[in-house]
């Protein structure tokens, strides 16, 4: 379909946790395509005004070629921090930052265990809540997957399949203009040349920070914490 019309759209249902949206975006961008990717996830975030979690951390992902080897990939949860970070903090008895979660009574908390029992907060208040809702509609309601808080938690609920939904949209860069590469290079150059606030060395586009980290970490050893090592041993046996 994509070769003929320039646009391809794939809906997936009956799925499980697919990891990082950015991984799939990279595949599309390597083929010189723009992509938009949505997935829902188990309840973690309270809709604006609610005291109960219903939305997942529902990441929103947008990727585009940049005319350079570093792709633009905006891949972000709609929660203040992702749930994995809270789980890691809970296991290692570390505090979580202020303003990212409420306990089960609706009080702000920095206690990771209490945050897991309570609700995570969306980015930017009702705006983040609206984005989470949009992702639930696109990846759950539209695809035939679970939605409205029915996606099961892969860590705590083994009563059946998760039935997560995903939506992948990809399209060619030359649908409306034939000089996309020059236009995006110009766009990025203009933004990067803006005067910077104190302490900021470079204005980066989304994905650039992760590419830098990837390059740096590829040359280093990977340290695995004792807790993870223990888990890996249990899984191996
Ligand atoms: N499958 C699931 O259910 C699920 C749920 C939630 C999150 N996730 C995945 O977890 C991963 C992490 O999500 P996250 O919300 O913690 O992402 P994050 O906060 O690390 O990054 C969000 C975005 O901001 C960009 N960014 C970060 N610092 C920047 C800077 N200084 N300048 C410019 N851009 C910058 C990043 O490149 C990224 O695109 C994502 O890959 C996401 O897909 C998956």
Ligand 1 binding pocket includes 203 (Cβ within 6 Å): no
Look up residue 72 and give its two tokens.
Answer: 């633009």
Strands 33-39 and 164-172: antiparallel
Ligand 1 binding pocket includes 17 (Cβ within 6 Å): yes
Mean pLDDT score, 208-226: 91
Per-residue pLDDT at 2: 65
Ligand 1 binding pocket includes 39 (Cβ within 6 Å): yes
| b/e per residue 6-34 (b: at least 16 CB within 10 A) | eebeebbeebeeeeebbebbbebbeeebb
Q: Determine the distance separating the centroid of ligand 1 and the alpha carbon of 131, expressed in angstroms.
A: 15
Q: Determine the distance separating the centroid of ligand 1 and the alpha carbon of 5, expressed in angstroms.
A: 31
Per-residue pLDDT at 1: 55
Per-residue pLDDT at 237: 82
Reduced 3-state DSSP string for the chain? CHHHHCEEEEEEEEECCCCCHHHHHHHHHHCCEEEEEEECCCCCECCCCCCCCCECCCCEEEEECCCCCCCEEEEECCECCCHHHHHHHHHCCCECCCCCEECCCCCECCEHHHHHHCEECECCCHHHHHHHHHHHHHHHHCCCCCCCCCCCCCCCCCCCCCCEEEEEEEEECCCCCCCHHHHHHHHHHHHHCCCCCCCCCCCCCCCHHHHHHHHHHHCCCCCCCHHHHHHHHHHHC
In this structure, of 94-108, 113-127, 189-203, 223-237, the range with the lowest mean pLDDT score is 223-237
Ligand 1 binding pocket includes 136 (Cβ within 6 Å): no
Per-residue pLDDT at 36: 98
Q: What is the tens place of the pLDDT at every residue in 129-177?
A: 999 999 999 999 999 999 999 999 988 889 999 999 999 999 999 999 9
Mean pLDDT score, 204-211: 97
Share of the chain above pLDDT 70, in %: 99
Q: Determine the distance separating the centroid of ligand 1 and the alpha carbon of 154, expressed in angstroms.
A: 21
Q: Considering only CA atoms, which residue is closest to atom 44 of ligand 1?
A: 20
- Ligand 1 atom with the shortest distance to the CA of 17: 1
pTM: 0.92
Mean pLDDT score, 91-97: 92
Q: Determine the distance separating the centroid of ligand 1 and the alpha carbon of 187, expressed in angstroms.
A: 22
Q: What is the tens place of the pLDDT at every residue in 21-63?
A: 999 999 999 999 999 999 999 999 999 988 899 999 999 999 9
Pairwise CA distance, residues 132 & 38, whole Å:
10
CATH architecture, domain defined by 2-79+122-236: 2-Layer Sandwich (3.30)
Q: Determine the distance separating the centroid of ligand 1 and the alpha carbon of 76, expressed in angstroms.
A: 4
Q: Determine the distance separating the centroid of ligand 1 and the alpha carbon of 30, expressed in angstroms.
A: 19
Ligand 1 binding pocket includes 74 (Cβ within 6 Å): yes
């Amino acid at each position: 379909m994509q070769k003929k019309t320039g646009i391809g759209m794939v809906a997936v249902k009956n799925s499980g946790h697919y990891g990082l949206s950015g991984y799939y975006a990279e595949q599309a961008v390597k083929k010189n395509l723009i992509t938009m990717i949505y997935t829902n996830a188990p309840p973690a975030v309270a809709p604006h005004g609610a005291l109960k979690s219903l939305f997942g951390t529902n990441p929103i992902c947008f990727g585009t070629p940049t005319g350079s080897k570093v792709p633009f990939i905006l891949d972000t949860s709609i929660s203040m921090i992702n749930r994995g970070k809270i789980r890691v903090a809970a296991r290692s008895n570390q505090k979580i930052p202020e303003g990212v979660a409420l306990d089960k009574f609706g009080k702000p908390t920095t206690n990771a265990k209490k945050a897991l029992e309570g609700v995570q907060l969306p980015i930017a208040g009702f705006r983040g809540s609206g984005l989470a809702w949009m992702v639930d509609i696109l990846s759950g309601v539209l695809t035939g997957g679970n939605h409205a808080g029915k996606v099961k938690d892969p860590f705590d609920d083994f009563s059946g399949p998760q039935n997560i939904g995903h939506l992948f949209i990809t399209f060619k860069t030359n649908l409306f203009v034939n000089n996309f590469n020059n236009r995006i290079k110009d766009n990025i150059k203009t933004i990067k040349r803006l005067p910077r606030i104190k302490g900021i060395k470079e204005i980066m586009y989304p994905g650039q920070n992760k590419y830098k980290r990837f390059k740096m970490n590829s040359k280093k050893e990977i340290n695995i914490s004792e807790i993870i090592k223990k888990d890996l041993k249990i899984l191996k046996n």
